[in-house]
C-alpha cells in the first residue's frame, strides 16, 4: 500500500509539473515585448498629422501593457519625409505614416488610395476601403513591397490653396509655380502651371522666398499652424484636388508577422480608432481656425470661378485615365473605385446633398445621374 501511494503521489507531482510548464509555455508569448520605430512624412508635433501617430502609439503601449512600444519620429529625424515608404519596405523601421500619393513615382496607381481630384469624400473613401473592397486591393498592391497598409486618418475636403494673385480664369494659372502633390499636380501641369514637389516643412520658406507662387497644404487647421497667411494673400476653395484625403499607416509585413495574435488584434484596432479620430479632429478644428484666419488675420477667402473648376475637372478626368495602366491590379483598382463612385454618388444625391441643401434652405433639385471618371 505504501509503495502504491508513493507511485500515485509521484504521478500527481509529474502531472502538476507538466501542467505548470504547459501553463508557462502558453503564457510565454504574452511576456514578449516589441520595440518599434515609426517614421512620418510630417514635421514633428504638427497638429493633427504629426500628433496623431504619437497618440496612437501611446494608446498601443497602454492597451498592450507595454508589450508593443512604438517610438515616433518626424520627417527628417531618421529618413527624409519622402523616403518613408522605402524605409518601412526595407525594414529599416517597422511603421510609417504618410500618404500614398507621395509614392506615385514608384506605384502610380497608389494615388487612388489617397484621393482623386473630384473623387470620393472622406466618408465615401472610408466606406470604399473598409466595406467596398478597397483595402483588400490596396494590400494586394503593396504586398510585393512587404508592406501592410491601413487607412490612417482623413483630412476631409481640403482648401484649393494659397495664391499671391487672383484666379479669375485658367490664364491666371499658366506659368505659375505651385506646390501641389498627387494627381492635383498633374492637373495643374496640364493647365500650364509648373508643379514643384516639396514636403510640408519646406512650404513656408519656399513661398516666402518666391521659389513658388502658390501652394496647397491641407486646410485652415494646419495652414494656420504653418503661418501660410503670412506669405500669401488669397485663400481659395473648394479643394477640388483633395476632396477626402486618406492618409496611410504602413507596417512592415515581416515585423507584423512576428507579433503574437493578440498584439496583431490590438494593433489593428488602435489603427482603425486613430483613422476615425483624425477625421473628427479635422472637422472640429478647421471650423475654429477658419474664423481666426478671417477675423484676426483678414485673410481673403475666395471661391474658384465655375468655369475654372469645369476646366480643371475635364483635365482631372484625363489625368486619372493616364495613371491606369494595363496591369491587372491597376485595372481592378480602377474598376472597384469607379463602381463604388457611381453607386455612392447616386445615393448621396438623395441623402447627403439633399439634406445639406434642405438645411441651407436651398432647392434640392433633381437627382443627378452619376458621371463616371472616364467622362
Per-residue pLDDT tens digits for 114-141: 999 999 999 999 999 999 999 999 999 9
Q: Is the pLDDT of residue 373 over 80?
A: no
Give Cβ neighbours of residue 341 (< 8 Å, ≥ 6 apart).
Answer: 119, 120, 124, 370, 372, 373
Residue 2: per-residue pLDDT: 46
Q: 3-state DSSP helix/strand/coil percent for the chain, to nearest 5? A: 55, 15, 30
Domains for the chain: give ranges and CATH numbers: 33-153+245-283 (3.40.190.170), 161-243+298-359 (3.40.190.10)
b/e code 349-371 from CB counts within 10 Å (16+ = b):
beeebeeeeeeeeeeeeeeeebe
Residue 13: per-residue pLDDT: 45
Compute the distance between CA of residue 232 and CA of residue 211 in angstroms, rounded to an integer.
Answer: 13
Q: In which band, very low, low, confident or very high, does the pLDDT at 362 lie, cut at 50, 70 and 90?
A: confident
Compute the distance between CA of residue 169 and CA of residue 2 in angstroms, rounded to an integer.
Answer: 105
- Contact (Cβ atoms closer than 8 angstroms) between residue 151 and residue 123: no
Q: Characterize the bridge pairing of strands 177-179 and 194-196.
A: parallel
Lowest average pLDDT, out of 16-30, 69-83, 179-193, 301-315, goes to 16-30
Residue 9: per-residue pLDDT: 41
* Sign, CA torsion 219/225/226/232: positive
Q: In which band, very low, low, confident or very high, does the pLDDT at 40 lie, cut at 50, 70 and 90?
A: very high
User: Nearest CA to 288 among 207, 352, 223, 230?
Assistant: 223
0.85 surpassed by pTM: yes
Compute the distance between CA of residue 185 and CA of residue 93 in angstroms, rounded to an integer.
Answer: 29
Best-predicted range by mean pLDDT among 6-10, 44-48, 200-204, 288-292?
A: 288-292
| H-run or E-run covering 364 | none
Residue 149 buriedness (CB in 10 A; 0-12 / 13-18 / 19+): buried
Work out the average pLDDT over 198-217: 94
Residue 18: per-residue pLDDT: 47
- Contact (Cβ atoms closer than 8 angstroms) between residue 298 and residue 230: no
Q: Is the pLDDT of residue 6 over 70?
A: no
Work out the average pLDDT over 314-326: 94
Amino acid at each position: 500500500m505504501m509503495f502504491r501511494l508513493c507511485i500515485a503521489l509521484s504521478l500527481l507531482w509529474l502531472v502538476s509539473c507538466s501542467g505548470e510548464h504547459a501553463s508557462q509555455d502558453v503564457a510565454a508569448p504574452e511576456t514578449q515585448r516589441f520595440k518599434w520605430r515609426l517614421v512620418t512624412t510630417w514635421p514633428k508635433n504638427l497638429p493633427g498629422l504629426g500628433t496623431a501617430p504619437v497618440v496612437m502609439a501611446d494608446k498601443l503601449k497602454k492597451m498592450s501593457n507595454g508589450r508593443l512600444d512604438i517610438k515616433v519620429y518626424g520627417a527628417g529625424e531618421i529618413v527624409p519625409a519622402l523616403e518613408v515608404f522605402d524605409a518601412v519596405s526595407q525594414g529599416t523601421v517597422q511603421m510609417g505614416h504618410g500618404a500614398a500619393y507621395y509614392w506615385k513615382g514608384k506605384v502610380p496607381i497608389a494615388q487612388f488610395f489617397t484621393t482623386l481630384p473630384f473623387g470620393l469624400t472622406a466618408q465615401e473613401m472610408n466606406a470604399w476601403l473598409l466595406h467596398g473592397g478597397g483595402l483588400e486591393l490596396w494590400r494586394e498592391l503593396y504586398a510585393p513591397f512587404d508592406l501592410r497598409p491601413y487607412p490612417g486618418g482623413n483630412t476631409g475636403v481640403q482648401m484649393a490653396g494659397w495664391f499671391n494673385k487672383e484666379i479669375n480664369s485658367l490664364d491666371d494659372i499658366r506659368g505659375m509655380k505651385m506646390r501641389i502633390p498627387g494627381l492635383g499636380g498633374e492637373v495643374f501641369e496640364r493647365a500650364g502651371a509648373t508643379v514643384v514637389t516639396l514636403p510640408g516643412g519646406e512650404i513656408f520658406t519656399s513661398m516666402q522666398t518666391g521659389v513658388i507662387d502658390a501652394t496647397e497644404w491641407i486646410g485652415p487647421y494646419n495652414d494656420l499652424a504653418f503661418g501660410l497667411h503670412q506669405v500669401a494673400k488669397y485663400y481659395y476653395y473648394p479643394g477640388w484636388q483633395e476632396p477626402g484625403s486618406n492618409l496611410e499607416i504602413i507596417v512592415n509585413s515581416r515585423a507584423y508577422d512576428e507579433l503574437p495574435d493578440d498584439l496583431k488584434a490590438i494593433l489593428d484596432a488602435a489603427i482603425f480608432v486613430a483613422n476615425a479620430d483624425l477625421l473628427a479632429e479635422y472637422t472640429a478644428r478647421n471650423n475654429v481656425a477658419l474664423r481666426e484666419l478671417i477675423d484676426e488675420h483678414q485673410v481673403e477667402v475666395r471661391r474658384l470661378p465655375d468655369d475654372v473648376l469645369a476646366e480643371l475637372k475635364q483635365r482631372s478626368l484625363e489625368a486619372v485615365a493616364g495613371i491606369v495602366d494595363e496591369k491587372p491590379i491597376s485595372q481592378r483598382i480602377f474598376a472597384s473605385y469607379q463602381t463604388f463612385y457611381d453607386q455612392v454618388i447616386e445615393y448621396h444625391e438623395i441623402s447627403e446633398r439633399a439634406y445639406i441643401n434642405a438645411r441651407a434652405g436651398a432647392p434640392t433639385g433633381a437627382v443627378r445621374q452619376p458621371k463616371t471618371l472616364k467622362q
